[in-house]
Structure 1
Amino acid sequence: MQIISILLFSLTLLVIPGCNQGNVIPWKMDTSQVPSSVSHNTLSEGTSLEGLELSGVTAQEAQTMIKDWEGDKLAQNILLVYNEKEVSVTLKELGLALDFNTVWEKLWTKPGQRIESVLKLDPIQAHQILQEKLADLNRSAVDASYTIDNDQFVIIPAVPGQVVQIDAILDKLRNQSFATLPKQVEIPVADVAALKTTEQLQTLAFNGIVGEYTTQFNVKDKNRSANLVAAAKKLDKTLLMPGATLSFNETIGPRTAETGYKDAYIIINNEYVRGIGGGICQVSSTLYSAAVLANLPIVERYPHAVVISYIPLGQDATVNYPNLDFKFKNDTSSLLYIRTEVKNGMMTVRIYGKKTGKTVRFEQKIEKETDFQTIMRVDSSLPPGKVVQDQAGYKGYIVQTYRIVKDASGMESKLLLSRDEYAPTHKILRVGAD
């Protein structure tokens, strides 16, 4: 008879107005909506919900008792712990609630038994409250960085970030009852890797000078010296990333009076004449020689039309903004760092990179020499018979220039860098008219 009563009771519940989706009795139910056949039914002796005794209690009374009991339970705290940090949060704040429909059905289908509560979780609410309360445990990763101090590559290590694994916390709260719900939960965190790691910068780091060259200049030529110093300063401390190409013209910029350059001797039509920016080619030529000695690939380079005195044949690199440029590429895995130094009539370019154990030198082979001519020009401003030399004479050459590379084992390789033809620089004399 007891089983029949239960079945009849269940059928009665299914037709109560307002029920939906198979719910037995809605959680908030007005007493007037509960038929007397249900509201005056009592739960069997021995029926309980965890520690809540429900023996002989009517359905109406049970609903109120369970609601109050749930409120007390949801006011309890769970302690979230990470190292020495403790965060207290109530079950209600976490979006936990009693799954009343499931519990209610169990109470009536398992009379006289102790029923365990069933909880449901609102993940959106739980995410929001945990993000708010645990926000200070999240930490953004800090990329590795570097600085150059006294020409040394100094790495500032990366700092990994940290993020709270909220989903892992929620997994510990799902499918629980009030009885089994943990009182304390260790806060799981995961490391967040930096985008630029210390290891990446160690690959990028340079560890010494890989190419260096020095040329001399006449400090008495004030304008030319000033141009040379200005260009050297713009080149100084240039950084070239792996795979990048350095353009001398782009690095130094236009050579005009407005950009601070002065008149000095330049070569036009194989003669030395006054022009803006004279002396800058000594900077590009010194850089070219340092780049060759650093065993770097040359992308673009042009020789002067005539022999120049400050650097050996085949090691010069003329430039003329924006038409003639000098370029080389960083084909290494490390950063290249360029330093220039100008003092006491000496111009030095040093290229820092990652040492390989290789040594590099130039080798020249002259194919042909051409004598210069002496050109006499009458100058009526000079006394008769007076002779003044305007330009010294230099031979012309065809020269082959090689790069010789010796590896750590002593093996050498030879690469033809260029075959340059230099026209003779004719001696020019001014002679007073008779």
Structure 2
Amino acid sequence: MRSLKEIKKSAAKAAAVAFLLLGAVGVVSYASEADTAKTPFVLTFNTSTTGVFPRGVSYEGISLEGKTLEEAKSEISDYIEDRQSRYMVWNIVGNTYEYSASSFGVACTNAEIVSSLDNLTMSGNIVEQYKKQKDMDVNPVDLDLQFSLDTQTLHDTISEYTSTLSRTVSNASVKRENAQFVVTEAVNGIAFDTEAIYNELTGMINDFSTADPINYTFPYTETPATYTSADFAFSELPLGSFYTDGLGDKNRRNNISRAAEGMNGRIFYPGETISALDLYGAVTIENGYAEAPGYNQGRVEMVVGGGVCQVTTTLYNAVLRAELDVSYRKNHSMMVNYVYPGMDAMVAPQDNSDFKFVNSSNHPIYIEAYVVDDRICINIWGIEERDANRSVRFRTEILSVSWPETLYNIVVNDSECQVGEVRVNYKHKVEVEVHPALSCVSYKQIYIDGQLVEETELNRDNYKAASGLIYRASDCNVSASARPGNAGEAMVFPYIGWTIDISVTTPGGGEWPYYE
């Protein structure tokens, strides 16, 4: 059993420690030696630390020392709420979108861990508090709050924006309406790396060490359009323009109109090769074409799309006047009567024979094609860069002309021609026109201020001869002869100056009488 002196000494030591640790806030008292028998030693409580957390208690590295349990729980609740409602602004191609973290399922998944603080506040006398502090110094408590993030919702939301706001690059375009050009401005392309954006935003939202607002701009790649509205500031006049007349019967006219429709409004950029067959589309009955007379291996036959070669010829001449590069052109097997020899161009859908040219200018071109009355017209629009005093012309030199020995095969056909006393015009019908064999050379001429400064050979062409076909009535005879035409005279082949005389005689050889 300890002596009174030892008890006094032990009490004094404990009191000294308490004063050292707690700043002498508590009160330690003891009786004098003389009064020991009457007054027992009293160890009072440190009221300034009772009910608050000691050093070593924290959450997410934030100290709770000196806070009550209620204060700590309130602070931690605010901490969780700040992160769940964390404000964020997304800037996407100049548009802003606002969200809170809770929009993407951010929530504390272990909030109940706060209850583990219930027994960690200071209690008891100063010795007991001292011991608890010592324990906490050795084994501190730091609450690790866990948060969840709905990554699927975040990814889906990002994907919706990047998909909706992505843009495919689009050059400016133009349409001709009411004799005016209406230009649609170019659109720059925009592309996002959705996965990179998702990973970056996920990392920012998952940083729960801060509740500061997230301001995030979606990175993107912008691809500028190659051609803008400036490239469609077309000149007042076409670069090249041409028309041909004589569209023929209903089916042939239909085919010409259908081919013109296919090319009208088409835009081609510098360096592009243009195919006539591509412009026309499939030359088939299903695509709106009909059977009409056309050339096939030196003969006139009914073919689907008969007449599209007249469109091709008209296009070829417009291209020549626009001075675009011709990459492939072939003349008809037989001469046509709507342009000079050497100035025609053909296509043959049956064997993919085509007419092709290149937009060799520095700007886009626009093809305008339309049918009016008995005429097919084609204009090629663009930006004129040629000198105003410069012009181009074309000429054809005929090297030889020869007619077939039999100009026309003459067939009796009373269903096509009339028997009896009728006008001579009704006694016969030219079903197929005769074609001479012809060779020629064509030239391109350049004029400056109206003066010829350059002439270059364009084409050398040969055309086959072919007999024509005439139906006649059974009560007459028909014969034909070719000769050079006279000035002012209607000619069968005006571009070579030849005409055909057709005479109708009685069975006895007399001139057919004129009947009203």
**TM-score, with normalisation over the residues of structure 2?**
0.53
Q: Secondary structure at the match of 1:53?
A: coil
The alignment status of 1:200 with 2:192, answered yes or no, reads no
Contact 1:288/1:317 (<8 A) preserved: yes
Task: Single out whichever of 210-219 and 250-259 deviates more from structure 2.
Answer: 250-259
Alignment partner, residue 394 of structure 2:
363
Alignment partner, residue 167 of structure 2:
142
Segments of structure 1 that go 5 or more residues without pairing to the other structure are: 1-43, 101-106
Alignment partner, residue 53 of structure 1:
65
Task: Single out whichever of 160-169 and 352-361 deviates more from structure 2.
Answer: 160-169
- How far apart are residue 285 of structure 1 and its match? 0.3
- How far apart are residue 185 of structure 1 and its match? 1.4
Number of residue equivalences = 362
Instruction: List aligned pairs for 1:199-348, cutoff 5 A.
Output: 199-202=225-228, 206-208=232-234, 209-217=238-246, 221-240=249-268, 243-250=271-278, 251-254=280-283, 259-264=288-293, 266-267=294-295, 277-323=305-351, 324-331=353-360, 335-348=364-377
- Which of these residues, 350, 356, 361, is aligned with residue 379 of structure 2? 350
Could you say which structure has the greater relative contact order, defined with CA pairs below 8 angstroms and 6 or more residues apart? 1
- How far apart are residue 207 of structure 1 and its match? 3.8
- How far apart are residue 293 of structure 1 and its match? 2.7
Alignment partner, residue 184 of structure 2:
154
Contact 1:215/1:347 (<8 A) preserved: yes
Q: d(CA) in 1 for partners of 2:255 and 2:99?
A: 67
Q: Cα distance 1:52–1:310, how it changes in 2: closer, same or farther (>3 A)?
A: same
Percent identity, aligned pairs only, is 16
Paired letter, 1:420: D
Alignment partner, residue 87 of structure 1:
100
- How far apart are residue 80 of structure 1 and its match? 1.6
Q: Cα distance 1:413–1:256, how it changes in 2: closer, same or farther (>3 A)?
A: farther
Alignment partner, residue 460 of structure 2:
419
- How far apart are residue 342 of structure 1 and its match? 0.9
Q: Secondary structure at the match of 2:86?
A: strand
Q: Cα distance 1:271–1:70, how it changes in 2: closer, same or farther (>3 A)?
A: closer
Paired letter, 1:318: M
Q: d(CA) in 2 for partners of 1:157 and 1:185?
A: 33
Q: Secondary structure at the match of 2:342?
A: coil
- How far apart are residue 341 of structure 1 and its match? 1.2
Q: Cα distance 1:414–1:154, how it changes in 2: closer, same or farther (>3 A)?
A: farther
Segments of structure 2 that go 5 or more residues without pairing to the other structure are: 1-52, 90-95, 114-132, 413-418, 468-481, 483-499, 509-516
- How far apart are residue 398 of structure 1 and its match? 1.8
Q: Secondary structure at the match of 2:460?
A: strand
Q: Cα distance 1:273–1:246, how it changes in 2: closer, same or farther (>3 A)?
A: same
Task: Single out whichever of 321-330 and 161-170 deviates more from structure 2.
Answer: 161-170
- How far apart are residue 418 of structure 1 and its match? 2.3
Contact 2:174/2:232 (<8 A) preserved: no
Q: Secondary structure at the match of 1:213?
A: strand
Q: Secondary structure at the match of 2:226?
A: helix
Q: d(CA) in 2 for partners of 1:132 and 1:275?
A: 58
- How far apart are residue 79 of structure 1 and its match? 2.9
Structure of greater Rg: 2
- How far apart are residue 261 of structure 1 and its match? 1.8
**TM-score, with normalisation over the residues of structure 1?**
0.61
Q: Give me the CA root mean square deviation.
A: 5.4
Contact 2:367/2:381 (<8 A) preserved: yes
- How far apart are residue 271 of structure 1 and its match? 6.7
Paired letter, 1:400: S
Paired letter, 1:80: Y
Q: d(CA) in 1 for partners of 2:458 and 2:366?
A: 23
Q: Secondary structure at the match of 1:263?
A: strand
Task: Single out whichever of 285-294 and 321-330 deviates more from structure 2.
Answer: 321-330
Q: d(CA) in 2 for partners of 1:224 and 1:316?
A: 18
Q: d(CA) in 1 for partners of 2:241 and 2:409?
A: 46
Contact 2:333/2:463 (<8 A) preserved: yes
Alignment partner, residue 73 of structure 1:
79
Q: Secondary structure at the match of 2:165?
A: coil
Q: Cα distance 1:258–1:235, how it changes in 2: closer, same or farther (>3 A)?
A: closer
